[in-house]
Structure formats: structure tokens, C-alpha cells
Amino acid sequence: MMTTFPPELLSFLRAASRVAVLTGAGVSQESGLRTFRDAQVGIWAQYRPEDLATPEAFERNPRLVWDFYATRREGAGSAQPNPGHYALAELEKRFNNFLLITQNIDGLHQRAGSRNLVELHGNLRRIRCSRRCGTIDEWEELPEVVPACPKCGAPLRPDVVWFGEALPEDGLHHAITAATTSQVFFSIGTSGLVQPAASLALMAKKAGSVFVEINYDPTPLTDQADYAFHGKSGEILPDLVKALG
Ligand code: OAD
Ligand code: ZN
């Protein structure tokens, strides 16, 4: 069934030039990648984040953390972008000023053709020194043991943001600027529970942006949304591109 969009939203979007979009794991769900918080199937329904996604976890058991991210990296590498990713790359071309802010580390937005992109939580394709000596590399193979930094000897780790860690400063700054100067802000496929990403929507709204949520389930942000569409982003986003004409 085609999604129906209120005509006033469509005409506002047709006239808009500044659009910011925040995405989360839900946009990759139709590519076969797991979300985090969905009951039963979410990654955090099976594992505890404190065992796998914190600096302390890596210190305690680097191998376990490596293997977890290696599995996710392989999954992301063999997954294909879905119609939602492609629709976002299409939308980027419509607006003079468009920023895609993603919490995803799977690289699928780039592969679908999105260019103006901020990765708030890093990317699975890179590794870096755990002591931040500056070493950063492409993650090519899964090594037998956790590799040591060629410069300082500390263990190398995935270049992703873990719980308790700060987000990349430039990326976050760019995201906040785009959100607070946008005319329309979309929150798509994210539970809106992880800060500071989740607060971008409210910052945007407070600054006068029209806030649109597209998510399978209602979220804590839904009440704040000017427009909320509940369903699959891989269906709603292509419908939106079509409806805009
Ligand atoms: P969550 O798993 O918390 O939320 C995913 C949301 O996507 C849920 O609200 C689902 O209803 C929705 N969803 C599922 N399938 C969908 C579909 N096909 N179309 C649209 N929506 C769908 O994932 P995030 O919000 O991305 O951080 O989680 C945020 C952060 O928490 C992640 O970046 C990760 C995680 O822990 C770190 O690892 C630092
Ligand atoms: Zn180093």
C-alpha cells in the first residue's frame, strides 16, 4: 500500500532547501542487519552492551570484542543497501543543503550513493589505535590475534564509538548545525533512546524545524513529531520520493 502524505507536508518539502536526516539501525533492517533494541531479534536482546561495546569490555576481553565486530563487519559487507538507503541518496539530490546524520556503522548509506554524510558512531571498515596515537587503518582481514598498533604497540580496535565514549567532535558539531538550521528534520529507523543523537530532533524542532518521524514502532520522540509515519523505511521513503515527483 502506498503511503499517503499530507499535501501541506509535500509542498513544504518541495519548497525547502535545508534538510537534515538522522538514521538508525531500522533503515538497515530490510538489508538483513539486526537492530539493537527490538524485542527478541535486537542485538541487545541477545547480548549485554557492557560486555561488547564499552572500552572496559575491550580491556577485559579484546578478542571477544574483536570477534563481535568482525561478525558485524562481515554481515555489513555482504548486505546490500535497500530501497530506503537509495531513496535517501535520491533525496539528497533534491535539496541544496542536505545532511544525512547516521548512527549506523555499516557503510550502507555510502554504498547507496549518499555523499553528504556524518557518521556519528564511526564505521566498521576502519580500525584505530586504542591509545589514540593517531594510527588509523582499513580493516582488511580478521587477524588471528588482536593486532598491536605499529606505532605505539597498544591493541588496535574497531573505529566505532562505544558506550561511555565521546562522539567525534567535528561530526557532532556539523550535525548540530545542520539540525538547528534545517527547515525539515527527519528521524528515521531509530528508537530515539541513545544520546546525544536522539536530542538532535528536539534541538531541530526547538529551532523551528518541521520534525518528521519515520519508524516501524512509535518512539519516545513520536509525541514531539509534527508528522509521524509508522512502517518500514524501505517502503515509506521510496513512496516519499515518488510523491515529491
Ligand atoms: P534501535 O535498535 O534502538 O532502534 C531501531 C528502531 O528501528 C526501532 O525503533 C524499530 O522500531 C525501528 N525499525 C525496525 N525495523 C525498521 C524498518 N524496517 N523501518 C523503519 N524502522 C524500523 O537502533 P538505533 O536507534 O540505531 O550505538 O540505536 C542507536 C544506537 O544504540 C546505535 O547506534 C548503537 C546502539 O547501541 C552504539 O553502538 C554506540
Ligand atoms: Zn598507537
**pLDDT truncated to tens, each residue of the chain (245 aa)?**
899 999 999 999 999 999 999 999 999 999 999 999 998 899 999 999 999 999 999 999 999 999 999 999 999 999 999 999 999 999 999 999 999 999 999 999 999 999 999 999 999 999 999 997 988 888 777 676 788 999 999 999 999 999 999 999 999 999 999 999 999 999 999 999 999 999 999 999 999 999 999 999 999 999 999 999 999 999 999 999 999 99
Do residues 149 and 218 share a domain?
no
| pLDDT computed for residue 92 by the predictor | 98
| pLDDT computed for residue 135 by the predictor | 87
Determine what percent of the chain falls in helix, strand and coil, rounding each to the nearest 5: 40, 20, 40
| pLDDT computed for residue 146 by the predictor | 87
Kindly state the cell numbers that stand for 27: 533503515
Closest Cα to atom 14 of ligand 1: 26
Do residues 69 and 147 share a domain?
yes
Do residues 71 and 87 share a domain?
no
Cβ of residue 31 lying under 6 Å from some atom of ligand 1 = no
Number of domains in the chain: 2
Do residues 190 and 232 share a domain?
yes
Do residues 100 and 74 share a domain?
no
How far is the centre of ligand 2, averaged over its atoms, from the C-alpha of 108 (Å)?
28
Q: Which residues pair with 158 in a beta bridge?
A: 127
Map 212-241 to HEC letters.
Answer: EEEECCCCCCHHHCCEEEECCHHHHHHHHH
| pLDDT computed for residue 151 by the predictor | 93
**Strands (E) located in the chain:** 18-23, 97-102, 117-119, 122-129, 136-138, 156-160, 184-188, 210-215, 227-230
In this structure, which ligand is nearest to the CA of 154? Answer: 2
Q: What is the pTM of this model?
A: 0.96
Measure the CA–CA gap between 98 and 207, rounded to whole angstroms. 17
Domain that holds residue 65: 34-78+124-160
Q: Is it true that the peptide bond before 196 is cis, omega within 30 degrees of 0?
A: yes
Kindly state the cell numbers that stand for 78: 555482504
